[in-house]
Structure 1
């Protein structure tokens, strides 16, 4: 069984996206006069509490598969340790696992705070600039896209109505569970493509802040030098790179966690797969020939290859697709939830608090 090299590229892209958001967040912490530091810390604690509350919700409401994935991971790890002659109750307790997830979620929420707030402001400005109804509709769908993603994992709202639709006495599922999982992945990717397509409208709305500042200055009394006016206008254009990163980086994180979910979770891109093409969720052991073949004594390279293959096979049996399904489903859902929460707060702030 060969390793899918696309997993490495997705992990590298995720690492670079997180690094970019981390650099932008540390820049806000270096500002002493503004309140950006307090905003990041406040939202970080808010998302930590929110993550702890989400993690105690049962699978009947939020269908991540974390419980079954963690149980499978613990059982596989205990079996591996027993084969090595070690006695253990498991690699980590469920409480520690969820606490680690909550801390990770709080960091992700803190990183996505200002991208969400900025998106809300650009959304309002883009709506004011848009003249066509289709553009305004797409802007509204783009803003609500994270909410649609969040609802895809809310079992009573989506899956229960599709798998058990109220169509009289008989309950006929509209699609299979595998088809529903594939449709969910496609919907997330299509919404990410829509957000990427609407990027030009949002960046143009930000660039128009320079014109709005000049128009506002004309209404005020007093004079301003030409140099100060040029600096004020140029400041908007210089900051455009940061705005573009704040718009693209969360989108890249969301897209690549979805791709990792498809690959590591053994999902399929085919909406209606054949009956015999279903891939099993559990990873089986490597073929017996890998273990039974005894390479010659002088072939040190072959011995090393066999040892590495056996080690990778053991890791595959511990980190199963069931674990990756639960973990990556939760992370994908959480990124979308953070984006919508911060954007909704930013919309309320720019629409009401700033005016007041």
Structure 2
């Protein structure tokens, strides 16, 4: 995917710097997110409802049935522990890629709040900063789904909506929060550009003479780095939108608030051999056999990679991207507000 490639290129640039500490920061956050991903994957579905366990079980059972039909004895393509281990490694890479975008977002958030005097804009900036937290809470079952599906209204619990409607509202809320972040992009980029004025004011306070060439280089460095800042702001947003749209499509969700009931059971789309043979010329027997084998193989793969698997995996990845963005931006907020010297 293009956005992952962009974040990977930006991260490799930090590793090429010899004297800076960016490499250590990326490695440290990578190990931190690896441990965090392992801890999250242990949590049961009663607290974090991704559907990952159900999707993996369905995938493993379907793969075993497919291998048995092929005459192969197997306990499954991969064990659950191995699957979670490689998923945790992938999550640690995503967390390392999102480290500096989150740290930069925290700095721009503080600068944008200092530059803004309107209450509405400040409120939108706060909502924009807390948007990943809202996305994270959407999959915490005791906080959101239990209260929405079965609200405590006296002795009787009347569900406000169905599970399909809740899934649809969750997708729409993520897209609206992403649209808000895109709308607030101008304020954040302008806050970054004002760093040039801050640097000029800081240099004026220092003792000694400052040449005009050094002053121009310092200002130009801020403006030239604006493209990197824009990529760090937009790339995680595109990644989040990409996983959300894939979750809607591959997870068999709907955009309607009251979607029609869709069966999640795997559908046997394998065509009978007679129908395939009737559509082809009877003279070419080898071609008939090849087309039949390809048709059966494709239908079998469709039964293995079901919407249950994609729904669980993409729900977890969407939640993980939002959790990484909020974790890094929260650490950046603490660092720039309390640990840096003004």
TM-score for the superposition, normalised by structure 1: 0.92
Gaps of 5+ in 1: 1-14
Q: Kindly state the Cα deviation for residue 272 of structure 1 after the two structures are TM-superposed.
A: 1.2
**Aligned counterpart, 1:119:** 105
SS across alignment from 1:293 = helix
Task: Work out whether 1:69 is the aligned partner of 2:31.
Answer: no
Compared CA separation, residues 174 and 342, structure 1 to 2 (3 A): same
* 1:265/1:281 contact within 8 Å kept: no
1:261 correspondence with 2:247: yes
Deviates more, 1:245-254 or 1:301-310: 301-310
CA-to-aligned-CA distance 1:68-106 (integer Å, 9 cap, x gap): 111000000000000101000000000000001100000
* Equivalent residue for 1:185, pick from 164, 167, 171: 171
| Offset of residue 130 of structure 1 | 1.1
- 2:197 is the counterpart of 1:214: no
Give the superposition deviation at 1:221: 1.8
State the partner residue of 1:331: 317
**Partners in 2 of 1:202 and 1:303 — Cα distance?**
61
**Which of 40, 51, 60 is the aligned partner of 1:54?**
40
Tell me, which stretches of 5 or more residues in structure 2 are unaligned? none
Provide the C-alpha distance between the structure 2 equivalents of 1:191 and 1:291, rounded to a whole number of angstroms.
Answer: 52
Asked if residue 143 in structure 1 is aligned to residue 129 in structure 2, the reply is yes
CA distance in structure 2 between the aligned counterparts of 1:301 and 1:216, rounded to whole angstroms: 77
**Partner secondary structure for residue 152 of structure 2:** coil
Question: In the alignment, what sits opposite 2:267?
Answer: 284
Q: Secondary structure at the match of 2:299?
A: helix
User: How many residues in Structure 1 have an aligned counterpart in Structure 2?
Assistant: 339
In structure 2, which of residues 44, 67, 79 is the aligned counterpart of residue 93 of structure 1? 79
**Distance in 2 separating the partners of 1:213 and 1:86:** 68
Q: Deviations over 1:197-238 (max 9, x none)?
A: 100110110011001111111222211111111000000011
1:313-346 deviations in Å (ceiling 9; x for gaps): 1111001100011100000000000000000000
**Of the candidates 281, 290, 304, which is equivalent to residue 296 of structure 1?**
281
User: 1:198 corresponds to which residue?
Assistant: 184
Q: Is the 8 A contact 2:7 2:232 kept in 1?
A: yes
Q: Secondary structure at the match of 1:178?
A: helix
Pick aligned residue for 2:119 from 116, 127, 133:
133
Q: Write the mapping of 1:19-34 to structure 2, written as runs, cut at 5 A.
A: 19-34=5-20
Question: TM-score by structure 2 length?
Answer: 0.96
* Matched-pair contact (CA < 8 Å) for 2:270–2:296: no
Deviations 1:288-333 (Å, cap 9, x if unpaired)? 4576431334457776555433322111100110001110000000
Alignment RMSD, CA only?
1.5
Q: 1:132 to 1:288 in 2, by over 3 A?
A: same
* Of 212, 215, 223, the match for 2:209: 223
